[in-house]
Amino acid sequence: MPIASSQLVFYASSGMPINDTYRSGGDINSGIRIMFNDLDASTTITTYSSDIRDINTLTVSGWNNSHTVIGESITVSGTGHFTGSSTFSGILGAKLSHATGLGNITVSGTSQNNIGTVYVNESGFQRSFYLAEAGGSPKTFYEKVFIKNNSQSTELSLAYVRSTGTGLMNTKIIYGLENGKALAPSGAGVEESVANRLTAPSNVSSYGSGVSGVWPSGAGSLLPTDYQGIWLKYSLDADEIAYGPYYIDISGFSS
């Protein structure tokens, strides 16, 4: 059976820094999906679940119209629609307060139908390069994400990652695949982390923006439930902030 695109998911690593001092990288956090797009609208946030049994609180963080970071906790109660009072111009992340949802929880805005979704058995989503900014001199940031094959039965053979589209971040970000992946015989490098997101990892041989096959030797596969670490390298000019969409995907052959 072919792998559906919805089964190939980008997840966070266990260390997704909110500033330049926190640890970056580590193993996969398969409860948090990575979001690569921005919301360019002034909107309040509405939440609702696909499962009437869901009772939870979703904490949303982002920018307001003055580009100040704000946060708001919004009720999730079954399929009812609950709307917050804060106006967001950009979303940085959303996370459930209590474990995971029983249904798919939609996070929507008044001018955008679907900002993001917290899927069943997951706990949230987060923007890559959360609040990264260069300040008065250029900076280069390193964050690790994972691509995971969520299929329970189908392998993605000859799997390769590539940067796609012409998003603003695509002109600034290059990436390198970690030298190892989960469920591989050696597992080398799967859990590498660095002291902070200004420190380069050691388990990446090279960076670029073209096609890159998964471990080993660029000719590997993603077995069912397998995942591959990808380090993103983001170079900002002086006084520049992390902003704009980024496009990256994975392809291969179902077998």
Question: By mean pLDDT, which of 35-49, 203-217, 237-251 is the weakest?
Answer: 35-49
45-57: average pLDDT: 94
pLDDT of residue 102: 82
Distance CA 252, CA 3 (A): 10
Q: Does the structure show a pLDDT above 90 at 229?
A: yes
d(CA 85, CA 45): 8
Tens digit of pLDDT for each residue in 98-113?
Answer: 877 789 999 998 766 6
Assess whether pLDDT exceeds 70 at residue 253.
yes
Give the model's pLDDT for residue 103: 92
Answer for the pair 62, 90: CB distance below 8 angstroms, yes or no. Answer: yes
Q: What is the DSSP string of 41-102?
A: S-B-EEEEESSTT-EEEEEEEEE-TTS-EEEEEEEEETT--EE-S--BSEEEEEEESSS--S
**SS3 of residue 131 by DSSP:** coil
Distance of CA 65 to the CA centre of its chain: 24
- Written as six digits, the tokens of 212 are 């890159």
The answer, yes or no, to whether residue 251 has pLDDT greater than 60, is: yes
Contact, 100 vs 106, CB < 8 A?
no
pLDDT band at residue 45 using 50, 70 and 90 as cut-offs? very high
Whether residue 38 has pLDDT greater than 70: no
The predicted structure's pLDDT at residue 25: 95
pLDDT band at 184 (very low <50, low <70, confident <90, very high): very low
